[in-house]
Amino acid sequence: MTQTASAFVLGTAMWGWTINPTDCHRILDTYYERGGRWIDGATNYPINKKGSDFRKAEQILLDWINSRGVDDLKIIMKVGSVNNLGGPENNLSPSFLLLCAQEYQHLFGQQLASLMIHWDNRTNLEEIQASLDTLIVVEGVSLGLSGVRHPDIYAEALENRKVKEVWLQLKHNVIYSDYNRYAPLHDNARCIAYGINAGGLKLDAKAYSKQASLLARGGNHEQHKELVEGLIGLIDRFSAANNRPALKKMNHIGLLYALLHPGIEKVLLGVSKVEQLEDSLAWEQVLNQYDYSDWFAALGKIIVKHGKK
Ligand SMILES: NC(=O)c1ccc[n+]([C@@H]2O[C@H](COP(=O)([O-])OP(=O)(O)OC[C@H]3O[C@@H](n4cnc5c(N)ncnc54)[C@H](OP(=O)(O)O)[C@@H]3O)[C@@H](O)[C@H]2O)c1
């Protein structure tokens, strides 16, 4: 099989919550073996509202790194959270961000690729610039943003600080996409899409397991019934075309919708099993190999009809 550079980043939001440490390590073994190096973390993963699990996901990653002796990962850490309760409390003061930068440089060394500001609702330009000032001087580490309420103010702050490029994590799936909301940052941003399965939405209502990600996060299948029917209709319509593999499930649609988007550079995988990882790796190859632009265009129409945006 011909290998092309992968756009994937392995997500860790459910590690230590719906995915036990042994399975996380199995997923990591396969991901690494297949050439995956990018990993996404955050101080507050898993956000399961259980205080004793604060920073558990990064500990699972560290245990794996130490047991395998790996030294060539590219790790993104989202910082600013002070707990894993899922509320708005965070600390983006320069002193706290400096502490986070020092901590993750100590833990991950040269494998720390990016530090991202995680959730920012502020409107004060000077305060935002002070946060940026702390992170842009961290050697060998790229600046990133995730969950920014006011992209226009950030665009101004980046221009004032002469920052030309930032990683930007944004939600992008068939129910909701933040891509257009981030328009003020499009010139500077290298976009990484997350939530491509809409947090674990399935096409088949019977496909949810007891540990299903959507249900653990308080989601609800019924809420998206019409959209799901529209998506199943598209699968049926295109399945007659036998010149390329047929899409079969939500993950294939989510991957297509993100990987074919011209403004998206990387895609976060939220796999909970090795088989799901294998499925995504295989589908990235398929989408690189065959033309699905007609599928992508038809999907856009279904989303306009049934999605939120
Ligand atoms: N920047 C941010 O604010 C932010 C927010 C959210 C997430 N993230 C990052 O993005 C990563 C992914 O986010 P997400 O978990 O919301 O992603 P997602 O892709 O929307 O949802 C993941 C869920 O989709 C299902 N799934 C994934 N691959 C599948 C496959 N091949 N076949 C069938 N089902 C599949 C699984 O559900 P089941 O387990 O139920 O089977 C899985 O738990 C996170 O781990 C985190 O690193 C960032």
**pLDDT tens profile 98-154:** 999 999 999 999 999 999 999 999 999 999 999 999 999 999 999 999 999 999 999
How remote is the CA of residue 18 from the centroid of ligand 1, in Å? 11
pLDDT in tens, 280-304: 999 999 999 999 999 999 999 988 7
Confidence of residue 1 (pLDDT cuts 50, 70, 90): very low
Which of 115, 173, 194, 249 to mutate to test ligand 1, by most ligand atoms within 8 A of the CB atom? 194
> How many residues are there in the chain?
309
Question: Angle CA(228)–CA(289)–CA(277) in degrees, nearest 5?
Answer: 55
| Nearest residue to 214 (alpha-carbon basis) of 43, 83, 224 | 224
Q: What is the pLDDT of residue 241?
A: 76
Would the CB of 169 count as within 6 Å of ligand 1?
A: yes
Q: Among residues of the chain, what percentage have pLDDT more than 90?
A: 91
Q: Whole-model pTM?
A: 0.96
* Alpha-carbon span 248 to 300, nearest angstrom: 18
Longest dimension (CA), the chain: 59
Residue 270 is given by DSSP the state -
How remote is the CA of residue 117 from the centroid of ligand 1, in Å? 20
CA-based R_g, the chain, Å: 19
DSSP string, 36-94: --EEEEETT-S-SS-GGGTTHHHHHHHHHHHHHT----EEEEEE-BS-SS-SS-B---H
Q: Where are the alpha helices (DSSP H) in the chain?
A: 21-33, 56-68, 94-108, 125-136, 151-160, 213-216, 225-239, 250-259, 274-289, 293-306
| Domains in the chain: ranges and CATH | 8-306 (3.20.20.100)
Average pLDDT value for the chain: 95
Residue 220 amino acid letter: N
Q: At what angle do helices 21-33 and 274-289 cross, to 10 degrees?
A: 30
* Atom number in ligand 1 closest to CA 147: 3
pLDDT in tens, 148-186: 999 999 999 999 999 999 999 999 999 999 999 999 999
Q: What is the pLDDT of residue 242?
A: 77
How remote is the CA of residue 123 from the centroid of ligand 1, in Å? 30
Question: Is it the case that residue 308 has pLDDT exceeding 70?
Answer: no
Confidence of residue 309 (pLDDT cuts 50, 70, 90): very low
* Alpha-carbon span 233 to 227, nearest angstrom: 10
How remote is the CA of residue 272 from the centroid of ligand 1, in Å? 8
Which of 268, 269, 278, 280 to mutate to test ligand 1, by most ligand atoms within 8 A of the CB atom? 268
How remote is the CA of residue 127 from the centroid of ligand 1, in Å? 32
pLDDT in tens, 228-265: 999 999 999 999 877 999 999 999 999 999 999 999 99
- Which residues lie closer than 8 Å to 241 by C-beta, 6 or more apart? none
